[in-house]
Amino acid sequence: MGHAYRRVGPPAAVVIFLLLAGCAATGPPAVVPELEPIVVETAPLPVVPSPKPAVRPTPPRQTTSRADIALVVDTSTPAHAAVADEIAAALPPRTYRVERVAATAKPELEALRARRITVIAVGPEAVQASRAALPDKPLVFCQVPSYADALKAGAPIWGVQTLPPLDLQLKSWQAVDPSLRTIALIVSAAGAPLAEEARRAASSLAADLLVETSASDRETLYLFRRLSAGVDGLWLLPDNAALSPPVLRELLTVASTRSIGVLTFNEALLSRGALMTATAVPADVAATVARVVERVVAGRTADLPAMTPLSAAALAVNVDVAMALGLPPVAVPRWVAREPD
């Protein structure tokens, strides 16, 4: 009878014996103490509030007060209205509040007495009306040829010259007529300041200026007839006491017959036989008035001159008269000259 064999591992006792034998060979087993479990207590992190943005103080609202300006216009001459338009345009609306008043509007002017206001007067009648209605208000005037009387209207008052710089006029005249040497200038007593300025201009430009004082328009004609034999030019400046329309026509006739070039202040006289005219540039007048007003409003008037000069001149030449006088050809009959051109 056959026997079936089954392969079995060593008995458990044998395994234990072998383990004990191995431990005896290598020494006693290491004692590994039991470690207590490490408990890590986790506390919630503190909540740090986000920093609030710094509150910047609101700057005080800047309020720019505008200066009140009364623009008083002499309406007797259309040119005054044109200059007044330029002045109004030259005063920034953020800085100035401009009220335009006619010189003849007495009630409107008197209504301004209680206000803090600066007056701009355009033309002689505007100066008179402004001083009568607003005697204590600061006043800046322009378009007033005989400004000596205007300056006597009482302080505080400042003016802007009506005519372009006289040295600029004379320099331009010499450019058209290089042979110009001796010039006659006839003014009234009121024109003495202009005559003195003309003398300085002539001296700086090596011209001989013969100045005569006239008490009437007829005397002006008489004086020019006497001077005409020894002069190359006649310089006419606006002067109601020394000139009149009829005498102006006669002066130009005498000058034409004696080949004398005439520089005058009114472009309408070119067609009457004048050689040249020199007039103010309205934009230059307005810019100059605006600069003076700025200083007056700011109170910076300690070194502000009584009369502030202009810096530009609008020039026109009668080409036919220039040819008749034998002058060099005039390429450009109209131009604007500026200091320091």
Pick the residue with more confidence: 55 or 32?
A: 55
> What does the longest C-alpha to C-alpha distance in the chain come to?
184
As a whole number, the mean pLDDT across the chain is 86
**Percentage of the residues of the chain whose pLDDT score is greater than 70:** 81
Contact 127, 106 (CB under 8 A): no
Q: Residue 72: its pLDDT value, please?
A: 98
Secondary element (H or E) of residue 255:
helix 245-257
Mean of the pLDDT values across residues 278-284?
96
Q: What are phi and psi of 220, to 5 degrees?
A: -60, -45
Q: For the segment 57-70, what is each residue's pLDDT rounded down to a tens digit?
A: 555 544 458 999 99
Q: Considering the entire predicted model, what is its pTM?
A: 0.77
Q: Which pLDDT belongs to residue 341?
A: 56
- Statement: residue 218 has pLDDT above 80: yes
**Cα 314 from Cα 284, distance rounded (Å):** 10
Q: Is the pLDDT of residue 27 over 70?
A: no
pLDDT per residue over 157-192, tens digit each? 999 999 999 999 999 999 999 999 999 999 999 888
Helices 166-176 + 192-204 axis angle, to 10: 50
Please determine, for residue 280, whether its predicted confidence score (pLDDT) is greater than 90: yes
